[in-house]
Amino acid sequence: MVSQNNKRTLRRALVAGAIALGAVTVSAGPAMADTVTIPGVGSFDLPAGVTLPPEVANLIPQQAGTAPAPAAFTAPYTSVGQRAADAAQSKIGSPYVYGAAGPNSFDCSGLVQWAYQQAGLNVPRTSYDQASAGQAVNISDLMPGDVVSFYGGSHTGIYVGGGNIVHASTSSQPVKIAPLDSMPVDGARRF
């Protein structure tokens, strides 16, 4: 038998973990949408606009005679890397400024660092440090968000898929998309 204090502690841990991982999003507004019951833990009133990722929603058993979980409970999962790639792409057209790390102008490693900060992860500031942090990734296995190093580690960009990177290349060139093979690739890292 689980005590009331243990249930409360478990609820808080589940909610805190979900929020920390970005698994639950809450829109403004007091309206309640649904109640979710987790056996052995309890029932929760979910505010309107709350979404749970499929891997969480699928853990909640369906009660006999009830309809399947509403579509609001099946939000697509977005990786940290994809969120960083999306953030970097939102800065296309921003000016290149040596030593700049956003939010309005960038150098190559400043764009990488800023984009990952928007995704909730701190990465090193310089291209050389970015080229040696994280986990090594084979170029043939790139995923959106992987940090690609060029020119012996002196330049970095973020892989966005389709054989392209987003990067802040040099003065007089704004943040832009470029083919991965337009520069000599040195390696890639995943954070």
Q: CA 61 to CA 38: how far, in whole Å? A: 8
Question: Would residue 108 show up in a list of annotated catalytic residues for this protein?
Answer: yes
Question: Around Cβ 8, how many Cβ atoms within 10 Å?
Answer: 12
Phi, psi of 157 (to 5 degrees): -150, 170
Catalytic residue among 56, 88, 108, 168: 108
Q: What does the block give as tokens for 150?
A: 């060029």
Residues making up the chain, counted from first to last? 191
Catalytic residue among 83, 91, 155, 189: 155
Catalytic residue among 83, 167, 176, 189: 167
Question: Would residue 172 show up in a list of annotated catalytic residues for this protein?
Answer: no
Q: CA 51 to CA 94: how far, in whole Å? A: 33
Question: Would residue 126 show up in a list of annotated catalytic residues for this protein?
Answer: no
Provide the annotated active-site residues: 108, 155, 167
